[in-house]
Amino acid sequence: MRLSYASVLSEGTRVLVGAIFLVGLTLVILVFALFHGYFDRGHFAVKEATWAPSGPARVAVVAERSDHEALNGDDYFVLIGDHVSSPTELRFAYHSGRVIFAAAAECLSVRWSSPRNLTVLCRDGNIDSNHINVRKTQARDVAISYVNIAEANSAAK
């Protein structure tokens, strides 16, 4: 005589296992949402969008994340994409690996020197390494260079 798994467990045990599974699944979903920007109540806006001069359609976007409820100041970040992102897309990109540069400095600007070379610069003054959150030198096939922005190995992510 073969016993099935369901017949070995009592009704109460099956309910308990099901409840534990649902609680675990709910926790996984909440943690995922937390770390992917679903609960971020900040305001996201495009400050500058610059299209690559030729080649595939590419746009470098300087965006701002402001949150008047938080104690820290505004954060400015740079993305490369194939279209200018909406505020919702900016929020999700901010919490992903797509950000190529992020700092607490509103002087950010971008310019393309070729379809595969982007320069991120600070228009007025310099950005020191204490204000840099993300600093990448490559985004897919685009090389990133910096002007008036500190070299900081500890800021690279």
pLDDT in tens, 51-63: 998 888 899 999 9
Residues 59 and 115 in one domain: yes
Question: Tens digits of per-residue pLDDT, 73-124?
Answer: 788 999 999 999 999 899 888 888 899 999 988 899 999 999 999 999 998 8
Is there a single domain that holds both residue 11 and residue 49? no
Domain that holds residue 115: 43-155
Share the mean pLDDT of the chain. 84
Alpha-carbon distance of 146 to 127, in angstroms, equals 10
Answer yes or no: do 103 and 86 share one domain. Answer: yes
Instruction: State the first-to-last Cα distance of the chain, in angstroms, to the nearest integer.
Output: 59
Residue 29 shares a structural domain with residue 49? no
Q: How many domains does the chain have?
A: 2
Which is it for the CA torsion 26, 29, 32, 33, positive or negative?
Answer: negative
Together in a domain, 20 and 66: no
One domain, residues 47 and 24: no
Assess whether 56 and 111 both reside in one domain: yes
